[in-house]
Structure 1
Amino acid sequence: MKNFPLSASILFASTIALAGCAAGGAQQSATNLSAEQCRDLAALKNNAPPTRERTGSELAALRKAGYNPSRWFDPYYPEDLQAAQRQVDRWFASECR
């Protein structure tokens, strides 16, 4: 009986994890970048002068790709930033025409 709460917790966590996987599959079919982000990223790729709006769009896309710049100490920097940049580049290539 003592292990029941732990077992229930594991079952609950597993259920939530599986639900997240199912939701993640559905989320991938949606677009990841907005039209504004596509426009701003295209401008930055073409060496347009950076503006607050353009860099904000880029940061929002990087955050959506999994990068978290708010950590005080990030043992995975710069690898996590580079991985997010590659993901945003893939989204840009497939979604921004």
Structure 2
Amino acid sequence: MNGFPASRCALTALALALAGCVVGGVVPQGGTHLSPTECRDLAALRSQSPPTMAEHHSELAALRKAGYDPSPWYDDPYYPDDLQAAQRLVDYWFETECPALLPH
């Protein structure tokens, strides 16, 4: 044991998750979560046009910002709930942030 009880480690992890820490860094506070490129690519994915690999990469980057980690998909006890939670957050960001970033 490293000196921390398991419950304390779990509480620390939960506190960090609630504070907005995600894979790849911290979600910016007061700023936008999605880049203009991610907004453009997510809008394209929501259209009827055939998706590109770059659009899929942007979608994955946005899901990672929302806290989803696709690495342990084969042994993730929270799948698909964790993916769906990240998708809801990305959808919220898309609806609230992207209209200002996308051309009208």
- Place the TM-score, normalised by the shorter chain, in its bin: 0.7 to 0.9
Q: 1:91: how far off?
A: 0.2
1:76 aligns with 2:63: no
Residue 56 of structure 1 is matched in structure 2 by: 57
Percent identity among equivalent residues? 59
Amino acid at match of 1:34: S
Q: Deviations over 1:40-61 (max 9, x none)?
A: 0001111221111000000000
Count of aligned pairs between the two proteins: 85
- d(CA) in 1 for partners of 2:54 and 2:66? 18
Q: Which secondary structure state, in structure 2, belongs to the residue aligned with residue 27 of structure 1?
A: coil
Q: CA RMSD in A?
A: 3.1
* CA offsets 1:15-63 (integer angstroms, 9 cap, x no match): xx79xx4x9xx83311100000000000111122111100000000001
- Give the number of the structure whose alpha-carbon radius of gyration is greater: 1
Distance 1:48 1:94 in 2: 23
- Which ranges in structure 2 are unaligned for 5 or more consecutive residues? 22-26, 100-104
Between the aligned partners of 1:28 and 1:79, the Cα distance in structure 2 is 25
CA distance in 1, matches of 2:54, 2:75: 27
Structure 1 spans left out of the alignment, 5+ residues = 1-5
For the residues of structure 2 that align with 1:83 and 1:95, how far apart are their CA atoms? 18
- Which shifted more, 39-48 or 82-91? 39-48
Corresponding residue for residue 88 of structure 2: 86
Q: For the residues of structure 1 that align with 2:42 and 2:49, how far apart are their CA atoms?
A: 10
Relative to total residues, which structure has the larger helix share, 1 or 2? 1
Q: d(CA) in 2 for partners of 1:37 and 1:70?
A: 21
- TM-score, normalised by the number of residues in structure 1: 0.73
Runs of 4+ aligned residues of structure 1 deviating over 2 Å after TM superposition are none
